[in-house]
Amino acid sequence: MKKIHLILTGLSLNIILLSLNRLTKLTSSYLQSFEFLRWLDFNAMLPIPLMAIILYYLLRQQIVYDSPFRKTALFVFLNVLLISGIYFFGAGSGDHEVTNYLHARFCEKQVLNKSLCNIVIFNDDEFSHYVYYLGFVLMNVSLMLLEYNLPRKKSVGTKDLLFIVPNSLFIALGIFANLAFEDIGIDLWVFASVMALAIYLLFFAKRKFAQLPVTFYFGVAYSLGVLSTFVFKYFK
């Protein structure tokens, strides 16, 4: 569990960096040559998602152990889902950040021609979101189902579960900070779908939730993030 706590702390730091990058003006300056991106876009396209993917892979390594399940087709399929999720997550990040930059700089006041801006805006606001969130869902679902099929042999103690909660709060706050103050598209419903699977695996499937610490982490994080955002948006 020490390694899992360390990895989850890394994910917390990553969401803090993501929020600072997106919600402050610390990274609003341009990169050379030709001011091709802002630091905001560069950070959100390369180092931040790369850190997230590495940490997800490290979580996978803490979940998987020698077991007959590793020889099954389902094990291979879940790993294919994880790899596919990583690809879509990266592709969506790349498409979104470049077109978001072009949208903000050249299309909000229609500096570029209308047809070109329509393409940029569609990639920024719609297509890149679909690809990104497809990757996000596949990564989360594959990790939780891997853990469900490879539950910890020794159940996690209450102390370790309590230590997981603070890291979950950082993810929840990140979801709230990034969604509560802007128009919501599919974002909230994507997080809600991951939350629903986590809750099902924790409370309605055959495993004890003390055998599923990573799923417990996702369940607490997305439940708090989704519910707080929903309450703020629709009952303020």
Q: Where are the domains of the chain?
A: 2-235
pLDDT of residue 112: 73
pLDDT of residue 209: 82
* pLDDT 10s digits, 26-37: 999 999 999 999
Q: How many CB atoms lie within 10 A of CB 226?
A: 24
pLDDT band per the 50, 70, 90 thresholds, residue 183: confident
Residue-wise pLDDT tens digits, 200-218? 999 998 888 889 999 999 9
Residue 146: other Cβ atoms inside 10 A: 22
Closest CA to 233 of 193, 188, 194, 191: 188
Contact present, 99 and 128 (Cβ < 8 Å):
yes
Report which of 130, 125, 141 is spatially closest to residue 56, judged by C-alpha positions: 141
* Residue 44 burial (C-beta neighbours within 10 Å; 0-12, 13-18, 19+): buried
- pLDDT of the residue at 93: 96
Give me the pLDDT at residue 152, please: 92
* Chain mean pLDDT for the chain: 93
Q: Tell me, what's the pLDDT at 182?
A: 75
Amino acid at site 98: V
Q: Is the predicted pLDDT of residue 181 greater than 90, yes or no?
A: no
Which of 1, 175, 34 lies closest to 106 in space, CA to CA? 34
* CB-based contact 9:59 (threshold 8 Å): no
Give the model confidence (pLDDT) of 86-105 as tens digits: 999 999 999 999 999 999 99
Tens-place pLDDT, residues 111-161: 778 899 999 999 999 999 999 999 999 999 999 999 999 999 888 999 999
Residue 180 CA to residue 172 CA, distance in Å, equals 11
Give the DSSP letter string of 116-162: HHHHHHHIIIIIHHHHHHHHHHHHHHHHHHHHHHS--SSPPPHHHHH
